[in-house]
Amino acid sequence: MHASSPPLPSFGSQIWIGNRVVPMPEVRPGDRIIGVASLGELLVISAEAQAEAEAAVREAQAAFAELSRASSAQIDQFFGAFAARLENPEVWTRIEAANARDVAEAKAAGRQVGRLQITEAMRRAMIEGLRGWQMAKSRVGQVLERREEEDFVLERRCAPLGVIAFVFEGRPNVFADGAGVLRNHNTAVMRIGRDAQGTAEAIESDALQPALREAGLPAAAVRLVRCRERAAGQALFTQAGVRLAVARGSGPAVALLGAIAEQHGIAASLHGTGGAWLYVDESASPETLANVLRSSLDRKVCNTLNTLVLDEALPAALLETCRELLRSLNAKVHTSRGAARLFEEGIAQEEEDLGREWEWEGQPELSVLFAGDMEEACALFNRYSPHFVASILTQKRERFETFYERVDAPYVGWGFTRWVDGQWAWQRPELGLTNWERGRLLGRSGILSGDDIVSVRDVFIDKSGRGIQRR
C-alpha cells in the first residue's frame, strides 16, 4: 500500500468503505489503494500509473516556476506556432495517420468514433481557438480592486493558479483547448481517453512540443500522461501539486474522479451527465419549432437535445410539426407522461428515467413527454434532469424570465440548446462545462475557459518608505 494512503478498517478479506463493505482487492508491491468514502469505492492504482502521475505533476510544477519569468510575447508566440504547426500539411498528415489508427482500433472494439475522428472542421476549430488565445490579453497582473491612502496602497491582483490537471474524453480537439491555460501562465497535465491516445501523442510530438521550443517555454508546460490505464487519471487527481482538477466525460466516471479530487483537497470542475431539456409552450410557431429541433439534434454532444417537454395546451399544428420533424430525422423516441399518443411507435419510458442521457451516433435519440404547464415542466427538470441545459421555446419574454427563475440550471436558453459551447458562444475554447449535479458554482460561470483560471493576490505598498504602523 502506498505510504500516503490512510489506514482503512479491515474485516479479513473485506474492507469498510463509506457505508458499505467491499472485497479486498489483489495488489502488487508498489500499488496504491484508495478508498473513496463518498461512493463506497475501493480503487487500486498501479505502481506504473502512480509513478507517471507523480512525475508529470512534479515536472509541471517546475515548469510553472519557469513560466513566472516568461513574457507575454513568448506566450503569444507559443499559441501562434502551435496553430501554424496544425496548419502545416505535413504535420497534419502525420496527425491524420495516427487518428486513423485510433479510429480503426476503436471500431474493432465496438466503440463509437463520431467524436474521435478528426475532420477538417475540427482542425479549423483548433486553429481558430489557438489564434484566439494568441490575440487574447492575459489577466495576470490585472488589478481587481484598489485602495489608496496617504501612506499606503492596497491592490487585489490576478495571478496564475498553478498546475491544472485534465482528464478528457477521447476527443482530440480538447488537447489543443487545454493548452489555453498557458494564457495566464498556468501549466497543464492531461490524460485523454485511451481511444484518442495515439492522436494526442501525435499532436503533442508534432505540433505542441515544437511550439513550446520555438517560444522558449519549458517542455512540461503542457504535458500528456502517456499511461493508458484508467487509473492514471485517478492517480493524477490525487497529487498534492494539482491546483484544479477538470474532468469531462460520462456520469459515473466523472463523479468518481470528482470525489477523488475533493477527497484529496483539490478543487474540481466537473461535467458528468449531459443532455439538454427543451420546454415548448403554446405560443411557439411551427416554423421556429422545426428549426430549433433540427439544430438541437444535428449531432450528439453534451448539449444535444435529450428531453423534449411539450405543454398540454399545444395546438394541433405544433404537435404535428414536432411529430413530422422527428420522423423526418428518423429519431428514436422514448415516451412518458402521455406522449405515447403522439408517437405510437415510441418506446415507453419510466418517469424516473428521464435523467438518462441518450448516447447515439447517426440516429437521433431523445425522450418526449407532456407537462401541464411551465411550472410543472420546471419541476420535472429540477427533479429528474442532470441540472445542465434548460431551454424554453416561447414568444413571451415574461415567460422566459419566469422560466429562468424556476429552473435550477447553469445554462438557460431561449431557443435551441446547442449554444452551450465556449468557443461558439464566447469565442474562447472551453476547457469544460460544469453542470449543477453537485451544487452551484462559486463566483464563476459553468463554462470554464483558459482565461478563467486565475488566483488572486493581495499586495500592500508602503508609500512612505519609512515603515508605518497600524493605527
- Cβ contacts of residue 419 below 8 Å, gap of 6+? 303, 413, 425
Counting beta carbons within 10 angstroms of the beta carbon of residue 332, is it exposed (0 to 12), middle (13 to 18) or buried (19 or more)? Answer: middle
In this predicted model, what pLDDT tens digit does every residue of 103-121 receive, in sequence order? 999 999 888 888 889 999 9
With 0.85 as the threshold, say if the pTM is over it: no
Of the two residues 173 and 292, the one the predictor is more confident about is: 292
- The pLDDT tens digits for 70-96 are 999 999 999 999 999 999 999 999 999
pLDDT at 37 over 90: no
**Are residues 236 and 242 in contact, defined by beta-carbon separation less than 8 angstroms?**
yes
pLDDT of residue 146: 95
Angle at the Cα of 189 from the Cα atoms of 187 and 190, rounded to 5 degrees: 135
State how far the alpha carbon of 393 is from the alpha carbons of 219, 220, 279, 302, 397, in Å. Answer: 49, 47, 6, 20, 10
User: What are the residue boundaries of the structural domains of the chain, listed by start?
Assistant: 10-45, 49-272+446-457, 276-423
Number of CB atoms found within 10 A of residue 240's CB:
12
For residue 385, give the C-alpha cell.
434532469
- Among 289, 291, 298, 277, smallest CA distance to 369 is for 277
CA gap 209, 199 in Å, rounded = 14
| Amino acid in the structure at residue 166 | F
C-alpha 365/C-alpha 114 separation (Å) is: 15
Structure confidence at residue 48 (pLDDT): 93
- The CATH code that applies to domain 276-423 is 3.40.309.10
Q: Say which residues have a Cβ less than 8 Å from residue 233's Cβ, sequence separation at least 6.
A: 167, 191, 225, 247, 257
Q: Whole-number mean pLDDT of the chain?
A: 89
The three-state (H, E, C) secondary structure of the chain, written as one string: CCCCCCCCCEECCEEEECCEEEECCCCCCCCEEEEECCCCEEEEECHHHHHHHHHHHHHHHHHHHHHCCCCHHHHHHHHHHHHHHHHCHHHHHHHHHHHHHHHHHHHHCCCCCCCCCCCHHHHHHHHHHHHHHHHCCCCCCCEEEEEECCCEEEEEEEECCCEEEEEECCCCHHHHHHHHHHHHCCEEEEEECHHHHHHHHHHHHHHHHHHHHHHCCCHHHEEECCCCCHHHHHHHCCCCCEEEEEEECCHHHHHHHHHHHHHCCCEEEEECCCCEEEEECCCCCHHHHHHHHHHHCCCCCCCCEEEEEEECCCCHHHHHHHHHHHHHCCCEEEEECCHHHCCCCCEECCHHHCCCCCCCCCCCEEEEEEECCHHHHHHHHHHHCCCCEEEEECCCHHHHHHHHHHCCCCEEEECCCCCCCHHHHCCCCEEEECCCCCCCCCCCCCEEEHHHCCEEEEEEEECCCCCCCCC
pLDDT class of 3 with cuts at 50, 70, 90? very low
The letter for the amino acid at 414 is: W
Q: Are strands 163-168 and 242-248 parallel, antiparallel or unpaired?
A: parallel
Residue of 249 and 105 predicted with greater confidence: 105
49-272+446-457 belongs to CATH 3.40.605.10: yes
For 11-20, 118-127, 292-301, 335-344, which range has the lowest pLDDT when averaged over its residues?
Answer: 11-20
pLDDT tens digits, one per residue of 408-462: 999 999 998 988 876 777 777 777 788 887 778 777 777 787 778 899 999 999 8
Q: What pLDDT, in 10s, does the model give residues 165-176?
A: 999 888 888 878
CB 24 within 8 A of CB 17: no
> Is residue 469's pLDDT more than 80?
no
C-beta of residue 386 within 8 angstroms of C-beta of residue 251? yes
